[in-house]
Amino acid sequence: MTRRLSQLLIGLFLYGLGIALIVRGEIGVAPWDVLTQGIDSHTHLGFGLITVLMSGVVLLLWIPIRQKPGIGTVLNALLVGPSADVGLWLIPPGQDLWLRVIFFAAGLLVLAVATGLYIGAHFGPGPRDGLMTGLHKRTGWRIWVVRTGVEVVVLGAGWLLGGNVGVGTVLFAVLVGPLCNWTIPFFAIKRPAEAEAAPAHPGLEEALEGSAVPSEPSIDSPAN
């Protein structure tokens, strides 16, 4: 349990750092971050705070689809935004193009590793990913249809509000799935089969892990 919690917290911090690197790349960000930037351009509440507030709104949408968050889901909602703010504070904006491209590439790799770490800890997916899988379970629609539909709406709204849509947005959508397809199994903590079959504290395990499961990495675009 100690290792799982440590891996979860490290993964969430790195996730925020990865988002910050992609944002400082200034060549386009993930769909949900486009929306966050768009809202921030009008409210000036700060990227991290808006990320937290958006996660809270998404978690409210879990209620009608009867998804149960795990501790990883809740910590994701609370910690990724502040971690992103730390990264944005450490990494200066307005760099030369070659350096911004490096920022973006590094951010994509860090984000993929972070996703493998926190998903591999088995404490539940991020709020946005759980929303996708929950809608898939309740509607019967294919997961890629649900995810594409939601993210097209989110991306369009963020772009209209002034979020940064660019080549990086396309690269993120194309590359993050294959990268996570490698990092999630690589960092997954393998628990003993007997513990899986008969956990020592089944009630505690259920409460910590929740009922939501992450979508397949090949179609996942975690901003969340």
Length of the chain: 224
CB within 8 Å of 110: residues ≥ 6 apart: 14, 17, 18, 21
Decide: 43 and 50 in contact? Cβ < 8 Å.
yes
Decide: 127 and 59 in contact? Cβ < 8 Å.
yes
Retrieve residue 1's tokens.
Answer: 């349990």
In one-letter notation, the amino acid at residue 42 is H
* Whole-number pLDDT of residue 48: 96
Distances (CA, A) of 83 to 39, 79, 196: 19, 6, 32
Angle at 32 between CA 97 and CA 43, to 5 degrees: 90
CB within 8 Å of 150: residues ≥ 6 apart: 131, 132, 135
Q: What is the pLDDT along the chain (224 residues), one digit of tens a residue?
A: 888 999 999 999 999 999 999 999 999 999 999 999 999 999 999 999 999 999 999 999 999 988 888 898 999 999 999 999 999 999 999 999 999 999 999 999 999 999 999 998 889 888 998 888 888 888 888 888 888 899 999 999 999 999 999 999 999 988 988 898 899 889 888 766 544 545 555 555 565 666 666 766 544 444 44
Residue-wise burial string across 139-154, b where 16 or more C-beta atoms lie within 10 A, e elsewhere = eeeebeebbeebbeeb
CA neighbor of 9 nearest in space, from 109, 76, 102: 76
